[in-house]
Amino acid sequence: MNESYVLNYPSEILFGNGRIQELHEKLPKNAKKILLVTGKHAENTGLVNEIIKMLPSRDVIAHCGISPEPPLNEVDILIKKGRENKSDAVIAVGGGSVIDAAKTAACLIPKEGLTEDYFYNRREIKEKGLFFAAIPTTAGTGAEITRNAVLTDPSAGIKQSIRHNTMVPDLAIIDPLLTLSNPPVLTAFSGLDAYTQAIESYVSKNACSISKSLALCAINKIYHNLPTAFMFPGNIGARLQMAEGSMITAMAFAQSGLGAVHGLAHPIGSLLKVPHGAACSILLVPILKWNLPACETEFAKIGRAIGFENAEDFIEKTVELQEKLGIPVTFTSYGLKEEHFDFILKNCRSNSMKLNPRHMEDSDITRILEELS
């Protein structure tokens, strides 16, 4: 366990039903020109107009719609808008992709160059960008808490993070009521992403006592509330628990990092266009089984925390959870074939992979990919 660590969270985190109403008073007084980045769903449900009405004394330019796994050129469009309009703050309202794209734009608007310069480390982030507020509308990614943004270069098929300590949002508002309109499939994918992140955080080589306590708390909340949120989307109690579980997960993995599921989910996701939550949930059980010899005690602790006997029970209950949510168990329908393995092996050796509790040789990864093809 890591006994020397840094905790780096947003300066202010507002959690609870209806707290989005406090957005205006929490923004800096001198933030007059706002770039508001949202998903299409927020536009279709009228949330964008509601937010613009909440900010009457400010000049708001809205950009609605960011592709999943945000491509570099879409972030450049945000940067261009922010520079042209001399924006002095950025607000993101949406899922992880919206928040990651806006987080990068907030960082780069006052700097020189375009997104790919920083994505490929040709330029370095040296100082803080614009004030950035993140308001998630899904319960899963935790992007409102973290210092990184996962982006994609579609021409090279590369998916990786831009990260810097100054990219942590200044303000996070987590209002569970915003997740009520999420359809079941989105609830399942984002919830399983959070569940996977919490488990990977708990057993990460870099975990510390605080991240482990947070991760265990989050696993418990998510395991017991995800099926209800999936089956009864309007259940406010389950939505609140899921939103809190997701936030706590992010507070854990922002310190500890993740593991092999995320190491592999990134290249598979970018190559085969698998939604991130689906990629994580398909990989989760095979990686849990791989990690079991190194994590028997830790998995047993998780099992007991959620009300079961031992490590094997925990894995079995995870399989049952996925069955309840109707998640695919292989990448067959996404077209995974042997010809993709080389690309995945070349692009999976990220920090997440290094933090996995049991080392994986290329041959170990290949065996798992064969099982999932």
How far apart CA 226 and CA 224 sit, in angstroms, is 6
How far apart CA 35 and CA 13 sit, in angstroms, is 20
How far apart CA 205 and CA 198 sit, in angstroms, is 14
Residue 169 burial (CB < 10 Å; 0-12/13-18/19+)?
A: buried
Closest to Fe ion by CB, 104 vs 201, is: 201
Closest to Fe ion by CB, 95 vs 129, is: 95
In sequence order, which residues have a C-beta less than 8 Å from that of residue 324 and are 6 or more positions away? 227, 230
Closest to Fe ion by CB, 130 vs 344, is: 344
Q: Is 144 in the site for Fe ion (CB under 5 A)?
A: no
The tokens of 300 are what?
Answer: 């047993």
Residues in contact with Fe ion, counted by CB under 5 A, come to a total of 1
The DSSP bridge pattern shows strands 33-38 and 89-94 to be: parallel
Closest to Fe ion by CB, 169 vs 275, is: 275
Strand, coil or helix: 55? coil
In sequence order, which residues have a C-beta less than 8 Å from that of residue 273 and are 6 or more positions away? 334
Q: What is the dihedral of CA 94, 230, 192, 104, to 10 degrees?
A: 0
CB of 201 to Fe ion, least distance (A): 11
Closest to Fe ion by CB, 45 vs 351, is: 351
CB of 33 to Fe ion, least distance (A): 32
Closest to Fe ion by CB, 100 vs 193, is: 193
Closest to Fe ion by CB, 88 vs 193, is: 193
CB of 150 to Fe ion, least distance (A): 8
CB of 58 to Fe ion, least distance (A): 33
Interface map 209-228 toward Fe ion (x if CB under 5 A): --------------------
CB of 200 to Fe ion, least distance (A): 9
Closest to Fe ion by CB, 100 vs 175, is: 100
CB of 258 to Fe ion, least distance (A): 7
Among 251, 260, 303, 299, which Cα is nearest to 279's? Answer: 260
109-148 residues labelled b (16+ CB within 10 A) or e (exposed): bbbeebbbebbeeeeebeebbbbbbbbbbbbbbbbbbbbb
CB of 312 to Fe ion, least distance (A): 25
- Which residues 166-205 are close enough to bind Fe ion by CB under 5 A? 193
Q: Residue of minimal CB distance from Fe ion?
A: 193
337-347 residues labelled b (16+ CB within 10 A) or e (exposed): eeebbeebbeb
Which residues of this chain interact with Fe ion, rule CB under 5 A? 193
